[in-house]
Chains A and B, each alone.
Chain A
Amino acid sequence: MTTESIIDTSRPSAGRIYDYMLGGHHNFEVDRQAAEQIIRLLPFLPKYMRLQRWCLQDLAIELTEHRGFDTIVDFASGLPTNDHIHHVVPAGTKVIYSDHDPVVVEYAREILADTPNVYFFQADARRPEELLTRPMVQEIIGDRRDVALVYWGISIFLADEEIAHAARTLYDWADPSSCWVFQAQGTDLNTGTTELNETAEIYRKMGSPIYYRSLTQMQRFIQPWHADEHQFISLLDWHGMDQREMTAEDIASFGPAAGGYGAYLIK
């Protein structure tokens, strides 16, 4: 993500590859070729990405209906299609989406049109302060800091120090009653290292390096935040998926955590 020319449609983009794997049409031939190359290495990846996406609405329901949040700030949102947060939250909930890619921002604003209480800004998840200090965001949130913050589907693209910076920035900004929903992506993977390394190389060449870590490492970078009583939950458990719906090969590839964990982080 760091050096990617995101408006250059002649080169593959990590965001558009993600869209392709989700079955979207906001991608081009160059993205599809790169995506197919990755899928050959990690055949389970489209399923994993879909599972990851499905969890978004689960967390939105948990945050609003069970934890009482009425403001959600989502970083690196991608396209706000009908499977995203704002489709399931109660009326009146403020949802602030953001994405680094200006094309995604423009496209998103068309999708959202005049949807009340839903906003979309261009911002980089590596520097959350840029979004939180925007005058329009400050106008929407006001002085309140009891909001839900979301980093879902982005941590694999963040370097160690970028995660640590985001954690510290959000910690300093947020109220003690806030919650940071965090997906520890690409952790404790079960797949052979050759395939993982080759996949990482493809992303590195397109200017979007990815990082694999253990959950323990990830937990160190997000300090001083810590998971609530539910701890880190595998994506399968998060979505309540029946393990029987996965093939034995899927489960072997996803690993014990289905390729990642999610957690509600508290101060």
Chain B
Amino acid sequence: MTAPVDIHSPSFPTQSGDDLLVGTFRRALQETQFTNTRIPPRRMQQIVSAMARAFEAFHDKQEPASVQAHGQRLAQDGLSHQSILAAVQVVYNLSYTTDPEHQTALALAHGYTTALLEGYMQEREAQLLREQERTRRALDRARVGVV
């Protein structure tokens, strides 16, 4: 178990850590918003808040399973891979900022992003397989209907 990084540290003098997290995720994801085809921009506040909560929870409890579930949920919501990578970058950048020595931050960021990406990619693969099967069944039924 690594020592926790203080995301509410004084290196964020103008905002609480939570505000900073939300704001940083929001700015990063704004740049990739057109890649999130199923998430209208007005829903992004909800998404970035969930990201901030998930990271804070991991910071406190270091439970990879819940981060995996968070990653799965982001995939279900339709977050693009460009956005998930932007979120990963945010986590690394924030961790560096709060831990000048980088060692603890790297461990935390690595643990978090690995679990996040595992959950996200598992769900994306499952989605693709489900959609492939739905398409096959829909084509079969539509063709039967036409005959």
Interface of A toward B, CB cutoff 8 Å? 7, 9, 22-26, 46-47, 50, 53-54, 57-58, 81-83, 102-107, 110-111, 239-241, 245
Q: List 25 A-B contacts (CB under 8 A).
A: A7-B139, A7-B143, A7-B146, A22-B37, A24-B37, A25-B135, A26-B135, A50-B37, A54-B42, A81-B38, A81-B78, A82-B38, A82-B76, A82-B77, A83-B78, A103-B142, A106-B138, A106-B139, A106-B141, A107-B134, A107-B135, A110-B134, A111-B134, A239-B42, A245-B30
Number of interface residues of B (CB under 8 A): 27
**A241 in contact with B138 (CB, 8 Å):** no
Task: Give the interface SS of chain B, mostly helix, strand, loop or mixed.
Answer: helix
| B41→A241 contact, CB < 8 A | yes
Query: What is the bound-complex CA distance between A81 and B40, given in angstroms?
Result: 13
Contacts of A104 in B (CB 8 A): 138
Q: Is B35 an interface residue (CB 8 A)?
A: yes
Count of A-B contacts judged by CB separation below 8 Å: 71
- Nearest residue in B to A110 (C-beta to C-beta)? B134
A83 to B41, CA, bound (A): 11
Judged by a CB distance under 8 angstroms, whether B39 is at the interface is yes
Name the residue on B nearest A241 (C-beta). Answer: B41
Residues from chain B with Cβ under 8 Å of A25 in the complex: 128, 131-132, 135
In the complex, are the beta carbons of B131 and A23 less than 8 A apart?
A: no
Decide if B134 touches A103 in the complex (CB within 8 Å). no
A9 touches B139 (CB 8 A): yes
Minimum distance in angstroms from B74 CB to a CB of chain A:
13
Q: Are B78 and A82 in contact (CB under 8 A)?
A: yes
Which residue from B41, B76, B128 sits with its C-beta under 8 Å from A54?
Answer: B41
Chain B residues closer than 8 Å to A58, beta-carbon distance: 40, 42
In the assembled complex, the Cα of A23 lies from the Cα of B32 at a distance in Å of: 13
The chain B residues found within 8 Å of chain A, CB to CB, are 30, 33-35, 37-42, 76-78, 80, 128, 131-132, 134-135, 137-139, 141-143, 145-146
A103 touches B42 (CB 8 A): no
List the B side residues contacting A47 at CB < 8 Å. Answer: 34
Closest to B40 in A: A54
A7 and B37 contacting across the interface, CB-CB below 8 Å: no
Chain B residues with CB under 8 A of A57: 40
Given A26, A83, A102, A245, which contacts B145 in the complex, CB threshold below 8 Å? A102
Task: Give the complex CA separation of A104 and B41 in angstroms.
Answer: 26
- Which residue on A lies nearest to B42, using beta carbons? A240
| Docked CA distance A102–B142 (Å) | 5
Choose one: B37, B76, B128; the contact of A23 (CB below 8 Å): B37
- Complex CA–CA separation, A50 to B32 (angstroms): 13
Q: How far is the CA of A54 from the CA of B142 in the complex (A)?
A: 28
- B33, A245: Cβ atoms under 8 Å? yes
* A92→B111 CA distance, assembly (Å): 43
Q: Is the CB of B146 within 8 A of A50?
A: no
Rounded to whole angstroms, the CA-CA distance of A21 and B128 in the bound complex is: 16
Please tell me which one of the listed residues A23, A239, A245 contacts residue B40 in the complex, with CB atoms under 8 A apart.
A239
Residues of A within 8 A of B139 (CB): 7, 9, 103, 106
User: How many angstroms from the CA of A83 to the CA of B43 in the assembled complex?
Assistant: 10
B30 touches A110 (CB 8 A): no
Residues of B with C-beta under 8 A to A22: 37-38
Of B39, B40, B138, B145, which one neighbours A110 at CB under 8 angstroms? B138
Residues of chain A lying within 8 A (CB to CB) of residue B143: 7
Residue numbers in B under 8 Å from A83 (CB-CB):
37-40, 78
